[in-house]
Amino acid sequence: MSLPTNPQSEQSTTVSRTVTHDAERRATWNPQSARSTSVSRREFLGSLSAGSLVLMGKLAHGQAGLTVPGAVDVDAFAPDYFVSLAPSGEVTILAHRSEMGTGIRTSLPRVVADELEADWARVVIRQAVGDRQLGDQNTDGSNSIRFFFERMRVAGATARTMLERAAAERWGVDASLCFAELHQVKQRGSDKSLSFGELVEAASKLSVPTEAELKLKPRDKWRYIGKDAPITDLDDIVTGKAIFGIDARMDKQLFAVIARPPVVGGQVKKYDDTAAKAIAGVVAVVELPHFHEAPNFQPLGGIAVCANSTWAAWQGRDALEIEWDDGANASYDTDEFAKKLAAVARKPGTVLRATGKATEVIANSKKVHHADYSVPHLAHAPMETPCAVADVKTDAAGKVLSCHVVAATQNPQAVQQAVGRAMDLQPADVLVDVTLLGSGFGRKSKPDYCVEAAMLSRELKRPVHVTWTREDDLQHDYYHAISAIHCEAALDEQGLPQAWLQRAAYPTIGSTFSIGAKLPATWEAEMGNTDLPFDIEHLSLEVAEAESHVRIGWLRSVCHIQQNFAVSSFADELAHLAGRDPLEYLLELLGPDTRRLDMAAAKLGNRGASNEEYPYDIGRLKNVLRRAADRADWKRAASLPRGKGLGIACARSFLGYTGHVIEVDVSPKGQVSIARVWISLDSGTIVSPDRVMAQLQGASVMAATQALYGKLSFKNGRAQQTNYDSYRVATMKDAPREIHIDIVDSHAAPSGVGETGIASFAPALCNAIFAATGKRIRNLPLADHDLSWSS
């Protein structure tokens, strides 16, 4: 059995942040767009898409594989998409971002509850379906708090203001005399009070205030923002009741495991499914079409085995006999490709930012230092592999009538787009229910696995749950790009750079969405290359072309991984070459504390953020650098014995600032132990300090994995690593023994956290290893190097 190729799926599209960086702007919202003179729950529900409405009904009756308390109250007061109040006083807040350990399903609702002055114990959180009316739902790019902090405050303040006005009408006083406090509205100068529930009916009949009419709470009155609280799903997670994508179930569903082409762009030549069908529990074997044009979020194709259990499907998949046509990428060899990349990076490239006459100054300088750095392909390797279940209904002619997907996804709207295209449906007609995610790191914002489930369900006319095995996950990922970065500096008599040239070569993420894309996009280059913060007169910051032979995708911290590694390592090299303390050298390189990078002059996009609200503030960058150094007692760095070392690095990434100091012990045999890590973070206003600390701790372990072991290699177009035995991750013995976190108390606008903690870790680690052993690491991972030393 084989599925026809959907003509629409052959078209290259731009449905992700990676092609058009403008998609990462703050969510556009018109405060009047969902409002009327008299707003009731019925009108609120009527304004939502059909998909949202259907799912809310399913949730109310405990369907869709999720456990959600309460039922939808049609008499509730809903002045905003994100919040409603029932006559009982229960507050329902819609969580429209995906929960994968960051706590965002709790943090954003707490912002609403704070402005509303709700009693947190009386708040119910509902997970939203994919619905563009809710704004950006791509839980990716460290954008959730940045995009929606003010939006959630407005939602809460709108409901609070209407409750206060309803109380004022009841008492016949001016609304300025009424104030909300912990689920009640009180009157100043009296002991009068009314509960929120008592005011619901009256409030629902009032006009919805404009945003200009709202008075947001001052920072010193915040009840929940900036305070720690357990995540809302904590009890269910630790007791095994929580529903993740791999747990999702629909009535009469089958389980599918798929044999995909081992080389990207390959396809099935022929196959024999006799042995697979003989496996007990196997129900059907279905051929999936291979993608055409750019990969996008289309399935890779292959042969799916569908069975009554995942185990039976897996055994059936392994029993298939398949002959593959490997296609154009059959000769891909990362060892050879790395050599080509390094050579390309040493030749003139495309200049994206230039000041002065860098190439001329370097050419005429008496003292020039240069170095080449590299980072291999990396995999996401989330603990929960990609998984989704889909239920597609068709008429007798095969036309799709409805499609419901339950998935561990970071981006339900991307699921709607990709599945809708494959099913010939409008995106809004694809119902996407989001479960908890067992981590994501960017992989689960790419919904090819959801399309697979929908294709199989359409063919078999019953729900199908697709589960990727660990081998599938590692061998068919959207990989972090392999890269080469060349750095040169012309040095003065004090060893300070008068000119700096940096050239980065790596396959662009754009190649996943557009045939022939070879040059890194400007937004990719801006992650540690073209946003170089150093106060140097002559700059030439460049990129170079590189072909892609695999699917390239964004991984947590994206291009900061390779570009900040090069920048901070090269700066450390220059410091040691000059005989200077690395901290003092870095501080001097950055220039005056009052300096701000001129983003407009440098033609930098600033992640779509306002340059006024989110300036590149050198003072803040130097501050986290100093704070990390102070807490690590940096002054002892020069007196440490051989085998022990401190390394330092800093970065601005995802609009936040980090300073890292790492202490290592390296045994004479070359065994590295990360003794202590100090991180200073300035990400502006913090909603949940505990969750921020957890993300920084997790970032330290993940960055340690990448630096110590991270490497995905290819021979004959095939991934050579298949599971955690060959694609190693940091275990307890590898992880930092101590992680000390310092969060700067800031009133600045909130910025990134989840990805921000990665960028300066690897260079600080490698700089520490140099301090301990005298061995400079320019090519990751560390596992490829002999770090042994003798006295």
Q: Give tens-digit pLDDT for 296-316.
A: 999 999 999 999 999 999 999
Q: Give residues with Cβ within 8 angstroms of 104, minimum separation 6.
A: 95, 97, 98, 139, 144, 145
Q: Does residue 77 carry a pLDDT above 90?
A: yes
Distance CA 711, CA 500 (A): 29
Q: Does residue 12 carry a pLDDT above 80?
A: no
Tell me the pLDDT tens digit for each residue of 143-158. Answer: 999 999 999 999 999 9
Torsion of CA 530, 534, 536, 540, to 10 degrees: -20
Domain boundaries, the chain: 31-238, 250-328+386-467, 336-379+478-784
Long-range contacts: 336-342, Cβ < 8 Å, 24+? Answer: 337/482, 337/549, 338/374, 338/376, 338/482, 338/484, 341/374, 341/482, 341/483, 341/484, 341/505, 341/506, 341/546, 342/372, 342/374, 342/484, 342/486
pTM of the model: 0.92
Greater model confidence, 438 or 67? 438
Write b or e for each residue in 318-333: b if 16 or more Cβ atoms lie within 10 A of its Cβ, otherwise e. Answer: ebbebebebeebbebe
Residues 364-380 have a mean pLDDT of 98
CB 505 within 8 A of CB 485: yes
Share of the chain residues as helix, strand and coil, in percent rounded to the nearest 5: 35, 25, 45
Distance CA 649, CA 333 (A): 33
Tell me the pLDDT tens digit for each residue of 35-49. Answer: 222 233 334 344 444
Percent over 90 (pLDDT), the chain: 90
- Between helix 582-590 and helix 560-577 the angle, nearest 10°, is 110
* pLDDT for the residue 508: 98
**Which CATH number is associated with domain 336-379+478-784?**
3.30.365.10
Tell me the pLDDT tens digit for each residue of 91-125. Answer: 999 999 999 999 999 999 999 999 999 999 999 99
Q: Comparing 250-328+386-467 with 336-379+478-784, is the CATH topology the same?
A: yes
Burial class (CB within 10 angstroms; exposed 0-12, middle 13-18, buried 19+) of 32:
exposed
* pLDDT for the residue 5: 46
Q: Give residues with Cβ within 8 angstroms of 256, minimum separation 6.
A: 304, 305, 306, 307, 313, 452, 453, 456, 464, 465, 466, 467
Q: What angle do CA 11, 505, 555 make, to 5 degrees?
A: 60
Instruction: Specify which residues 648 forms β-bridges with.
Output: 661
Cα–Cα distances in Å, from 462 out to 293, 453, 606? 30, 11, 46
Tell me the pLDDT tens digit for each residue of 54-64. Answer: 444 333 333 33
- Between helix 689-708 and helix 761-773 the angle, nearest 10°, is 50
Tell me the pLDDT tens digit for each residue of 233-282. Answer: 999 999 999 999 999 999 999 999 999 999 999 999 999 999 999 999 99
* pLDDT for the residue 791: 83
Range of lowest pLDDT (19-28, 71-80, 333-342): 19-28
- Assign 34 a pLDDT band (cuts: 50, 70, 90): very low
Q: Please state the length of the chain.
A: 791
- Assign 76 a pLDDT band (cuts: 50, 70, 90): confident
Q: Give residues with Cβ within 8 angstroms of 172, minimum separation 6.
A: none
Task: State whether CATH 2.30.36.70 applies to domain 250-328+386-467.
Answer: no
Greater model confidence, 59 or 399? 399
Strands 596-597 and 616-617: antiparallel
Q: How high is the mean pLDDT of the chain?
A: 92
* pLDDT for the residue 755: 97
Alpha helices by DSSP H, 410-559: 412-423, 448-460, 470-475, 522-525
**Which CATH number is associated with domain 31-238?**
3.30.365.10
Q: In the chain, what is the straight-line distance between the N-terminal and C-terminal CA atoms, in Å?
A: 67
